[in-house]
Structure 1
Amino acid sequence: MKLEQLSVTDVNGVGDSKAEELRSMGILSVHDLLNYLPFRYDDHSLKDLSEVKHEERATVEGKVHSEPSLRYFPKKKSKLSVRVLVGRYLITAVFFNQHYVKNQLSIGQTVTLTGKWDVHKMTLTVNEVKFGIQPKDESIDPVYTVRGRLGVKQLRRFIKNAFLSYGNNLTDKVPESLREMYKLLPINQALYNMHFPQSYQHLKHARRRMVYEELLLFQLKMQMFRKINREQSEGKGLHFAKEKVESFIASLPFPLTSAQRRVTDEILKDLTSNYRMNRLLQGDVGSGKTVVAAIALYAAVEASTQGALMVPTEILAEQHFQSLESMLSSCGLSVALLTSSVKGKRRKDILSRLADGEIDVLIGTHALIQEEVVFKRLGLVITDEQHRFGVKQRRVLREKGENPDVLFMTATPIPRTLAISVFGDMDVSVIDEMPAGRKVIETYWAKHHMLDRVLGFVQKELDQGRQAYVICPLIEESDKLDVQNAIDVHAQLQHYFKQYKVGLMHGRLTSAEKEEVMREFATNACQLLVSTTVVEVGVNVPNATMMVIYDAERFGLSQLHQLRGRVGRGSEQSYCILISDAKSQDGKERMRIMTETSDGFVLSQKDLELRGPGDFFGNKQSGLPDFKVADVVHDYRVLEVARNDAARLVNGTELYYDASFEPLKSYLEDEGVFDPERLD
């Protein structure tokens, strides 16, 4: 019987009540139990304090140097302090709410302390203490997430019992040929060492094996999806007159950059190929993705099909509509806008003309995926800022045509490692060059006490007829966070800039209210706009030259870069001022990087390294895989290897016919990998 089919109650020591607690943790079978991995490992090996970083957890050995001092606080809270000589350092060890330790300490006594190290105060906040000389062995403690009355020690005992009874029954999905090629441990050995590592060397080899398996399985799914996608869409190539497309490109008011030309050629080649395009177009803010989209839409219409562009907000939909209509309508194309604000007779008219094929290009929000929206012959679907839409939303739009070509666009530059993992089933095009004559936005970091100087700078720009954005992290005051909020800042700035109109924008406004605020700002009826990050993806205002961001350390690098990209769209020099009293090393580092580079791809890589992949997109709809062991930032070399192996296996014969690949093939079948409906 497979381990997936054996209940946890088949493990020695697990009764019905414990099985219930395990079930609440998602552990139902023996297989689940063996694969329930620690989320971190505590290192109890002794450290030299000179090598321990600020706020890092460490275990040190020393001798008690002074009499302990004990202070009591209300509600029975206490603080015990004692001086300890650790190597050449005389440190203060602090014990919170551990008053009983006082009677166990005596001058000259050897103690082993574990806790968080404050390098500035030379203080160790202790959460674990051992008395006397301890054995010097490497000590690694796996830490698990547990619930209810189930403790870590009990969980580990259950896992050990499961290994004793069933460890040899584990199915190894990675075939021997691949294990030998990369000198990987068999699955039972690797899993055992993940739970019970004897040394960091053992743990390293176990983790290496688990990371490769995780990334290989994920990449196999991606590559299979890519293969099925291509096989299913054979013979759907669009036929358009290339000279007409070239003539359209020549008619544009400005020449394409070499990067725009390169990605345009890649997209046009996809449109004419015999498989469905599934391409991601990455380009920094202002790099000219809209022009490339216009060329692709023109080619699709020239091939007697319709095009659709779906964007996340009404403001952005209007902006795209205005710019695309100005480019496409002069060539005789019919372009329409459909959002939830379009109602009544006007809406009916658009839907009727769309179904009859009279509308060539439809631009809109998720209103495009409503059931009543019917295309006559949809040939190209473009989704902008695609990570803001869920998989199902993108799929519904795609299904409004017969295997239409799909182009995803994003102004969030995505590092190669993340692009491979999240968009591994896509081809990726990158616009890595800015249009000629575009000035670099000058970026400065200011502290809160310099606010008067910052506002004086804003005043100068406004007096010259320019406009400015002021961004706040919150809508209104919070008792939990000491940060500036949009409502208070708006009131303050109305008082400060009395001769100018100060607008307010945030997520609680209705779509119509947001639209009205942005329209006022776009037409210069409002000169200063106080907003939350809802303007991160917003309307194009070339006259705006100032971007001021309060409490800038609260934003990730990619988000700061997106906000900065709201200015610098006209011919005048633009500025971005980051107001931050960042105390953490991470916050200071982000401010420094922002002032030193304007390259979105450099920033995105730094953001990924600082914040990790989970926070990169800022939402769970991104499609980012939830790896148990692998980390796409640090394991990017393994990711590349797994991707190449997966491509070779999917397009070769071993996976399908070699008996040693049977466990891997079975797993993929169970996961629905060979069924495109389930895989999507």
Structure 2
Amino acid sequence: MRGRPTSLFPLFAGLETLAGVGPKTAKLFPQLGVEAPRDLLFTLPHTGIDRQLRTSIQDVTLPATVTVSVTIGAHRPARNKGGAYRIQVEDEGTSFQLVYFHARGDYLERTLPTGSRRIVSGRVELFDGIGQMVHPDHAVPEEDANDIPSFEPVYPLTAGVTQKTMFKATRAALNLVPPLTEWIDPNQKAQSNWPDFGQAIQDAHAPQSVADLAATSPARERLAYDELMAHQLTLALARLRERRSQGRSSKATGRLQSKVLGALPYRPTGAQTRAIAEISANMADENRMNRLLQGDVGAGKTLVAFMALLVAVEAGGQGVMMAPTEILARQHLAGLQPLAEDAGVVLELLTGRDKGRERIAKLDALARGDIQILVGTHAVFQPDVVFADLRLAIVDEQHRFGVRQRLELGKKGRHADVLVMTATPIPRSLALAQYGDMDVSVLDEKPPGRKPIRTAMVSTERIDEVVERLRAVMATGQQCYWVCPLVEESEILDLTAAEERFKRLRAMLGEGVVGLVHGQMPPADKDAALARFQSGETKVLVATTVIEVGVDVPNATIMVIERAETFGLAQLHQLRGRVGRGDAASTCVLLYQSPLSETGQKRLEVMRETEDGFVIAETDLAMRGAGDVIGVAQSGMPRFRVADLEQQADLMAVAQSDARALLMDDPALEKPRGQAARTLLWLMRQDEAIRLISVG
């Protein structure tokens, strides 16, 4: 494996190697995510100050930052220690004062002698009709005018690091950038009118106007593309390696699938048919499948997943479906059991609850191949779980499952295909960032017969009316979820809120009909509470957001979300999807506390107007930004320093196709452009990718 190119060494040295950065200051930079000179290159100014030279402050609307030539007049030292030291100055149209506090008079007299000409730049405000520039940012002799940039970049800071330090440090880092060979496809670069990397990084740090700070400026757009390209190259290398690791061809005969399709009371949607075809084709070829099945709540993922499992069985092997919790695993079992009966295949459940003889019997049957489809929790990972011939592993709810577990599961079968399902519609740019190594099938149609869910916005002042409505619905035998608000991210407070609401509803609706479930409960109690609701013993389930993923109670027709304005759109959409699973018409009540903020209002109105999870996800991204939409910390989402996923979704798609095309042409990155791309990977800290090339 070739190491980092020597030309990049200075960019990855310690920060104290930069002029003007001492050991003490170097320790402060990591707060800004800056560990080496290279990180300073990608810490771009977020705004700028116009310091164009003016003739006078007279025609400027104050307060404002002004740069002006002045003649220095009389000095008026401070009357008391630390007080205001004033210097009268005159520009072409008027006079004003420079004001210094805690000033050293002898120093000021030396640097700003009466009668001299100076260029001063700083914020001017009016006090009692007199213009004052307190502590000018710059005060230089006229011949040094060029020391003041006409548009000064303003950088993000942290305690102890000033703009001056930041400016000097970034300039020192810019001097270390070596000439680099171009890694961007020449047509792409010409068409987008992008500068070379060296020019782009210089321009991005020396904006000439506000327009140069925009994500769409050529320099910034090029750097964003470089960042996305490095990320997509890493994912494409992982995908290439995955595909190269031999897969096995599992060809469908259609024998079992036709039995299931024949027994269905409806015809699959176009999207379901398309997804089944994509997956079957993927499983039939020799490469290993690594596919994401993305479907909105109620889009019919279960049927698609089961058809994929049948491909494995028709080819003479086994399939496994994994869920993050026991409740969800049992639910999958309930959903798949009738389909398995139609197909005449053996389906079993394996969870942590299986103990002793029963467990041993299941493991033996699995190893013999008598169990054709296994549904389970991560208990399936245990070393003693051995398959006779695992062909397909399906993972439900990806965000509970890292890439590492995906690979672990693949190891259980010799080159098993992997299908990941998620019920969270993800905006395209984020899907590309998070799942760029996978091929994607999307279910964007609702199966026939799914009734729309009515969504109403109701103020919390009318909470008693809502409870009365519940009473009427319960009288007809239907059930209701009541989700409590998230209280400032504190589980303890969440809990108090949920317990209070539980007590109040119990008092109003009667003992025994209201259940409670929250994140702090022991798992067995949680399962029991959910089981009582599933069986219809309790009619109302008060819950914190633990029910967001998964529980299926067709009889539940009302979803009340309290303080709905405190939830994100994706979460509201997931919660609403818990109802509308049976034959009766369903309602989602968004209880809000007025007055609503503008964004709160907009969020709830989007919910009221559409049930399309993809539309909701795109709106959510535009309103909140990528980090909030998927919770960057827990999602394994990359953090980009320059690229902006909300605004540059298209750039991410371009980067993905470019990265895949480059690797098609040069899988080992050996040709000149491939070599340049290796340098990009080193520059962007994608060491993971470098390892993939050397192993791949």
Return the offset for 1:508: 0.9
Return the offset for 1:578: 0.4
Cα distance in 1 between the residues matched to 2:542 and 2:529: 10
Cα distance in 2 between the residues matched to 1:526 and 1:210: 57
Cα distance in 1 between the residues matched to 2:8 and 2:277: 51
Per-residue deviation, residues 471-491 of structure 1 (Å, max 9, x unmatched): 012489979989982111001
Cα distance in 1 between the residues matched to 2:577 and 2:491: 31
User: 2:428 aligned to 404, 408, 416, which one?
Assistant: 416
CA distance 1:350–1:211, shift in 2 (3 Å):
same
Per-residue deviation, residues 200-246 of structure 1 (Å, max 9, x unmatched): 33332321111111111122222232233223225x11134224422
Match of 1:89 in 2: none
Return the offset for 1:257: 2.1
Match of 1:87 in 2: none
Return the offset for 1:572: 0.7
Cα distance in 1 between the residues matched to 2:632 and 2:523: 21
CA distance 1:273–1:498, shift in 2 (3 Å):
same
Return the offset for 1:174: 4.2
Match of 1:67 in 2: none
Match of 1:69 in 2: none
CA distance 1:477–1:258, shift in 2 (3 Å):
closer
Letter in 2 for 1:319: Q
Indicate yes or no: 2:230 matched with 1:217. yes
CA distance 1:661–1:408, shift in 2 (3 Å):
closer
Return the offset for 1:634: 0.7
Match of 2:16 in 1: 9
CA distance 1:248–1:498, shift in 2 (3 Å):
closer
User: Secondary structure at 1:485's aligned position in 2?
Assistant: helix
TM-score by length of 1: 0.82
User: Secondary structure at 1:399's aligned position in 2?
Assistant: helix
User: 2:318 aligned to 294, 306, 315, which one?
Assistant: 306
- Unmatched 5+ stretches in structure 2: 1-5, 53-59, 65-124, 139-148
Match of 1:652 in 2: 665
Larger gyration radius, structure 1 or structure 2? 2
Cα distance in 2 between the residues matched to 1:247 and 1:15: 74
User: Secondary structure at 1:469's aligned position in 2?
Assistant: strand
After TM superposition, the structure 1 stretch with the greater mean CA deviation from structure 2, 361-370 or 461-470, is 361-370
CA RMSD of aligned residues (A): 3.3
Cα distance in 2 between the residues matched to 1:245 and 1:228: 31
Please list, as runs of the form range in 1=range in 2, the aligned pairs for 1:456-605 lying within 5 A after superposition: 456-474=468-486, 485-498=497-510, 501-581=513-593, 583-605=596-618
Letter in 2 for 1:598: E
Indicate yes or no: 2:158 matched with 1:146. yes
User: Secondary structure at 2:394's aligned position in 1?
Assistant: strand
* C-alpha contact (below 8 Å) 1:673/1:679 kept by paired residues: no
Per-residue deviation, residues 406-444 of structure 1 (Å, max 9, x unmatched): 111111112222222222222211222112222110000
Cα distance in 2 between the residues matched to 1:500 and 1:110: 74
* C-alpha contact (below 8 Å) 2:479/2:555 kept by paired residues: yes
Return the offset for 1:151: 2.9
User: Secondary structure at 2:542's aligned position in 1?
Assistant: strand
* C-alpha contact (below 8 Å) 1:472/1:484 kept by paired residues: no
Per-residue deviation, residues 523-580 of structure 1 (Å, max 9, x unmatched): 1100000001111113211111110000111111111111011111111111000011
Per-residue deviation, residues 64-105 of structure 1 (Å, max 9, x unmatched): 9xxxxxxxxxxxxxxxxxxxxxxxxxxxxxxxxxxxxxxx85
Match of 2:110 in 1: none
Indicate yes or no: 2:42 matched with 1:31. no
Cα distance in 1 between the residues matched to 2:155 and 2:63: 29
Cα distance in 1 between the residues matched to 2:488 and 2:623: 28
Cα distance in 2 between the residues matched to 1:521 and 1:441: 21
Cα distance in 1 between the residues matched to 2:667 and 2:307: 42
User: 2:276 aligned to 254, 264, 269, which one?
Assistant: 264
Match of 2:75 in 1: none
* C-alpha contact (below 8 Å) 1:477/1:484 kept by paired residues: no
Match of 1:344 in 2: 356
Please list, as runs of the form range in 1=range in 2, the aligned pairs for 1:211-250 lying within 5 A after superposition: 211-233=224-246, 236-250=248-262
Task: Name the count of aligned residue pairs.
Answer: 606
Letter in 2 for 1:414: I
CA distance 1:293–1:167, shift in 2 (3 Å):
closer
Cα distance in 2 between the residues matched to 1:154 and 1:600: 47
Per-residue deviation, residues 36-73 of structure 1 (Å, max 9, x unmatched): 445x3266799xxxxxxxxxxxxx94489xxxxxxxxx
Return the offset for 1:20: 3.6
CA distance 1:43–1:428, shift in 2 (3 Å):
farther
User: Secondary structure at 2:651's aligned position in 1?
Assistant: helix
Indicate yes or no: 2:167 matched with 1:156. yes
User: Secondary structure at 2:359's aligned position in 1?
Assistant: helix
User: Secondary structure at 1:408's aligned position in 2?
Assistant: strand
Cα distance in 2 between the residues matched to 1:177 and 1:192: 23
Match of 2:455 in 1: 443
Return the offset for 1:12: 1.8
Per-residue deviation, residues 322-350 of structure 1 (Å, max 9, x unmatched): 12122114533222212222233322322
User: Secondary structure at 2:456's aligned position in 1?
Assistant: strand
User: Secondary structure at 1:12's aligned position in 2?
Assistant: coil
* C-alpha contact (below 8 Å) 1:143/1:152 kept by paired residues: yes
Cα distance in 1 between the residues matched to 2:420 and 2:570: 18
After TM superposition, the structure 1 stretch with the greater mean CA deviation from structure 2, 614-623 or 356-365, is 614-623
Match of 1:673 in 2: 689
Cα distance in 2 between the residues matched to 1:585 and 1:266: 43
Cα distance in 1 between the residues matched to 2:567 and 2:188: 42
* C-alpha contact (below 8 Å) 1:308/1:382 kept by paired residues: yes
* C-alpha contact (below 8 Å) 2:349/2:375 kept by paired residues: yes
Match of 1:189 in 2: 199
* C-alpha contact (below 8 Å) 1:384/1:409 kept by paired residues: yes
Cα distance in 1 between the residues matched to 2:310 and 2:133: 72
